[in-house]
């Protein structure tokens, strides 16, 4: 995992918030992230594809839904970075979590 490439993955609001939500909940499907972030489906799919392409997440199709999780082989330092960010920036994605609970 090239650190610069990893940080490019985190350097977009849609991707970063998606990752933080996925890390917080353990997993999230596309329709959840659409609601949480209030964005269009192609946009979230394209950003998730980017994260998948670089080994940051894996996808898991269950029927019509596709669930995303952090990649289990993500290096420990990268997991630590995500977790550190998640625990210390709650206000950054709190509203997305709140929106998600309306489902």
Q: Which two tokens stand for residue 27?
A: 């997993």
- Could you give the CA distance from residue 24 to residue 27 in angstroms, rounded to a whole number? 8
Q: How deeply is 101 buried, as exposed, middle or buried, from its count of CB atoms within 10 A (0-12, 13-18, 19+)?
A: exposed
Q: Which two tokens stand for residue 56?
A: 């940051």
The minimum distance between CB 2 and its own copies, in angstroms, equals: 7
**Which residues in the 22-61 window bind DNA by CB under 7 A?**
29-31, 34, 39-43, 45-50, 59, 61
Sole residue written with tokens 């394209």: 46
The minimum distance between CB 70 and DNA, in angstroms, equals: 15
Give yes or no for residue 2 binding its own copies (CB under 8 A): yes
Give yes or no for residue 76 binding its own copies (CB under 8 A): yes
Question: What residue ranges bind DNA (CB under 7 A)?
Answer: 8, 11-12, 14, 29-31, 34, 39-43, 45-50, 59, 61, 63-66
């Amino acid at each position: 995992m090239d650190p610069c490439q990893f940080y490019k993955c985190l350097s977009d609001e849609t991707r970063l918030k998606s990752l933080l939500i996925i890390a917080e909940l353990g997993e999230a499907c596309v329709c959840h992230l659409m609601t949480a972030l209030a964005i269009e489906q192609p946009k979230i799919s394209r950003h998730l594809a980017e994260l998948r392409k670089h080994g940051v997440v894996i996808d898991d199709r269950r029927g019509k839904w596709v669930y995303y999780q952090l990649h289990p082989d993500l290096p420990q330092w990268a997991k630590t970075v995500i977790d550190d960010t998640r625990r210390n920036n709650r206000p950054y994605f709190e509203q997305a979590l709140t929106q998600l609970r309306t489902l």
